[in-house]
Amino acid sequence: MRKNLIHIIAVLTMLAGVSCNADAKLGKLANQASPSNDMEETEAAAPQATVSPTAPKGKDSSSYTVNGHTYTMQGTLNIKTYDAAASGKVTFTHVPSNYAEFEEIYTQFLGKTPHGVAAMMPMAMEMYGRNRAEGEKCIRLINYPSNVNSVLSQLKEKFGTNQYAPANDSYHQRYLPAAVLEGATPTNAYTPSYPYTVNMKASVNTHKDMQLYDGRVMYIYIMGKGWDTEQRSVEIVQTSDSELFKIFNCPALYTQCKNIKGTWEGLK
């Protein structure tokens, strides 16, 4: 009797073990078929990546859009080291609408490279032609203080009319800002290719340290068909207390260019 009881208990224990293993396997299969709530919550909470515009390095290009206007730049011009083969290129779909847009483009994007700020000078000149007060603020923003008065006095004469230089006088050259844009020539009434492009390359002059201040000056050629000498020299400066570049000198940009053939249609 005792032997039979022990046998029955052993059989029941074996059956219980089989049942537990089966339940465990079924549970594992169910977990594989249906992802856990924790996994779903983790995937749903994953943030979406955002890309912020940054200034280009080396040969990289980058772009910046504000108010529906897009600005791009690329180039290898570098104020730290001189490279005779270095170049730069800036394109833009529109001249900035106002000072606020101009300032944003300068501080957040174009002002961070020498070729970027060089290309902003024609923009500032055009803005001065449209609105003297706002254009003057743009010129003061991107120019080294010692260069501001020279630029303003020359543009006032070139863009203004009086008894000595009426509107039909060749000295009055409202189209000067377009003379350095790609595709613009005197014979096509200074109509540039679109989007507007400013092409630049390294000058034959090497970089120089400033004599009186802690800064460095470099020389850039802006290319333009408005003059017999198509290379328009622009001096760029960066001081040790700023990451932004400024125009140090640029008389070649407002020197009398070739007279227009036809009527200038303006810029967007």
Task: With beta carbons less than 8 A apart as the criterion, state whether 237 and 213 touch.
Answer: no
Residues 30 and 74 in one domain: no
Distance CA 220, CA 242 (A): 20
Residues 226 and 131 in one domain: yes
Helix, strand or coil, per DSSP, at residue 215: strand
* Residue 139 Cα to chain centre, angstroms: 18
Distance CA 151, CA 158 (A): 11
Give the CA distances from residue 236 to residues 12, 78, 210, 239, 248, in Å, rounded to whole numbers and listed in that order: 93, 11, 11, 10, 5
Radius of gyration of the chain (CA): 34
Q: 141: domain range?
A: 61-254
Residues 182 and 91 in one domain: yes
Distance CA 65, CA 93 (A): 10
Is residue 100 a part of any domain in this protein? yes
Is residue 194 a part of any domain in this protein? yes
Distance CA 264, CA 126 (A): 13
For the chain, residues with pLDDT lower than 50 are: 1-60
Residues 33 and 65 in one domain: no
Burial class (CB in 10 A: 0-12, 13-18, 19+), 105: buried
Is residue 45 a part of any domain in this protein? no
Residues 70 and 6 in one domain: no
Residues 72 and 201 in one domain: yes
161-180 pLDDT, tens per residue? 655 555 566 678 999 999 99
Q: pLDDT value at position 149?
A: 96
Residues 95 and 164 in one domain: yes
Is residue 191 a part of any domain in this protein? yes
Is residue 135 a part of any domain in this protein? yes
Task: With beta carbons less than 8 A apart as the criterion, state whether 166 and 151 touch.
Answer: no
Asked whether the CA dihedral 35, 38, 41, 43 is positive or negative, the reply is negative
Q: Structure tokens of 34? A: 């249906």
Residues 106 and 159 in one domain: yes
Residues 66 and 16 in one domain: no
Distance CA 252, CA 220 (A): 11
Q: pLDDT value at position 210?
A: 80
Is residue 130 a part of any domain in this protein? yes
Is residue 268 a part of any domain in this protein? no
Those residues with Cβ within 8 angstroms of residue 175's Cβ, 6 or more apart along the chain or in another chain: 189, 190, 260, 264
- Nearest in space to 253 (alpha carbons), one of 143, 96, 131: 143
Is residue 182 a part of any domain in this protein? yes
Q: pLDDT value at position 101?
A: 98
Residues 83 and 26 in one domain: no
1-15 pLDDT, tens per residue? 444 444 444 444 444
Residues 28 and 152 in one domain: no
Residues 210 and 142 in one domain: yes
Q: pLDDT value at position 54?
A: 39
Helices (H) and strands (E) in the chain, counts: 7, 8
Say how many domains are in the chain: 2
- Nearest in space to 118 (alpha carbons), one of 255, 2, 253: 253
